[in-house]
A = this chain, B = another copy of it.
Amino acid sequence: MHEEAARGQPVPSTRWARLMNTEREQPVGVAVVGAGYWGPNLVRNFAAHPGADLRWVCDLSRAQAEKAVGRYSTVGITDDLQVVLSDPSVEAVAVVTPAATHVAVAMACFDAGKHVLVEKPLAPSVADGQLLVDAASERGLVLMCDHTYCYTPAVRAIRDLVRGGELGEIQYVDSVRINLGLVQRDVDVFWDLAPHDLSILDFVLPDDCAPMAVAAQGADPIGAGRACVGYLTLPLEGGGIAHAHVNWLSPTKIRTTIIGGSRRMLVWDDLDPQQRLSLYDTGVEKHRENPGDTRREAMISYRIGDMTAPALPEHEALQGVVGELVGAVREQRAPLTDGEAGLRVLKILEAANRSLADDGAAVKLDGYR
């Protein structure tokens, strides 16, 4: 049924096959370092992907690592990173440790000649992220960011629609990512949740529509010592605007992004599996043809047309992440969400920090791309 479903949607299934790298070849040996909250998801997806061969799960707590693979597993367990790094069958390492340790662990992997997949955010600072990008580049190794959402069928379709011009000029992007979430010990709500929205923004927007600045507004109404409710505003090249609402204190879970374009508009509701994507043949436009016309109101036209919800395949995003890692390693190429993409997200987060400290004043994003 799902094979059939793929027919109706805009991402050709052949491209998905390539993205998933399901063609039979020698699988890539991998290890997962860090078996806390997110690690087990990568463990499960490496184990299920035909292009990968999961060799080790490594965690300072062996019990954690054992729990991640379950009681019936043949996968190697260790609490010693050196065991992983000295195993020649391991070609790539997924670093799923706390953000503060990403640099140390990833640099050790690079020094051992391993390709690296890093959990978001890439690093705790732009400087640290740059270190990783440079290290990978110098050694000719793959550095990939686990920007998971970029591998969902919905975001793939959005990218194709936006970059393919189906929406016309982008007018605004409004993203809401809120729920009753675990208040994190080491990061605020911006660093915890906004990387999702920022990496998606980076992934789907055309090159001539980049963020130019960021203003951040936050609040810590529970006295947690860091922002628990946050808003990011990013003016875009071309006159548009992007905005994200991230919130750990919401009683209801919302994961919705609206993108307004001059030709069409779309709504992505990630919590509605029956209609994740709604594409409206709707528009508001100011006509510029008659510059002499003084009747300003006559120059704005509305168009309300049909809405289409494209059929999307139901692939787990992390299968796409694993496939892209496998493909990048095999083909010695940059992955779709490479270190540079992770670095761009860090640049916005750091600028947001400065904006927060300056009472919400806009901070320019120089050298963003």
CB of A250 closer than 8 Å to a CB of B: yes
**Distance in Å: Cβ of A235 to nearest Cβ of chain B:** 7
Cα of A247 to Cα of B170 in the assembled complex, Å: 15
Residues of B within 8 A of A225 (CB): 296
CB of A127 closer than 8 Å to a CB of B: no
CB of A253 closer than 8 Å to a CB of B: yes
What 0/1 readout, one digit per residue, does chain A (58-81) give for beta carbons within 8 Å of chain B?
A: 000000000001111111000000
Q: Which residue of B lies closest to A222 (CB)?
A: B286
CB of A22 closer than 8 Å to a CB of B: no
Q: Which of A98-106, A134-142, A212-220, A341-349 contacts B (4 or more CB under 8 A)?
A: A212-220
What 0/1 readout, one digit per residue, does chain A (34-77) give for beta carbons within 8 Å of chain B?
A: 00000000000001100000100000000000000111111100
Cα of A180 to Cα of B69 in the assembled complex, Å: 35
What 0/1 readout, one digit per residue, does chain A (1-36) give for beta carbons within 8 Å of chain B?
A: 100110111000000000000000000000000000
Residues of B within 8 A of A362 (CB): 359-361
**Distance in Å: Cβ of A7 to nearest Cβ of chain B:** 7
Copies per assembly: 4
Residues of B within 8 A of A286 (CB): 222-224
**Distance in Å: Cβ of A325 to nearest Cβ of chain B:** 18
Residues of B within 8 A of A218 (CB): 241
CB of A289 closer than 8 Å to a CB of B: no
Partner of A296, one of B171, B185, B297: B185
Interface size class for chain A?
35 or more
Residues of B within 8 A of A304 (CB): 1, 4-5, 7-8, 180, 311
Partner of A241, one of B9, B169, B221, B303: B221
CB of A161 closer than 8 Å to a CB of B: no
Could you tell me if B267 and A258 are in contact, using CB atoms closer than 8 angstroms? no
Could you tell me if A221 and B233 are in contact, using CB atoms closer than 8 angstroms? no
Cα of A198 to Cα of B231 in the assembled complex, Å: 18
CB of A240 closer than 8 Å to a CB of B: yes
Q: Given that A7-B305, A180-B284, A308-B307 are contacting pairs, would A240 and B219 also be in contact in the complex, using a CB cutoff of 8 Å?
A: yes
Residues of B within 8 A of A221 (CB): 169-172, 238-241, 260, 262
Residues of B within 8 A of A284 (CB): 180, 183, 222, 228, 248-249
Q: Given that A219-B235, A247-B172 are contacting pairs, would A8 and B281 also be in contact in the complex, using a CB cutoff of 8 Å?
A: yes
The 8 closest A-B pairs by CB, nearest first: A219-B241, A8-B305, A251-B280, A171-B221, A251-B265, A5-B304, A217-B233, A307-B309
Q: A178-B258, A231-B233, A271-B274 are in contact. List 17 more A-B contacts (CB 8 A).
A: A7-B304, A54-B72, A69-B72, A72-B73, A171-B229, A174-B250, A176-B176, A180-B304, A182-B302, A215-B217, A219-B241, A220-B239, A222-B284, A231-B243, A248-B284, A250-B265, A307-B311
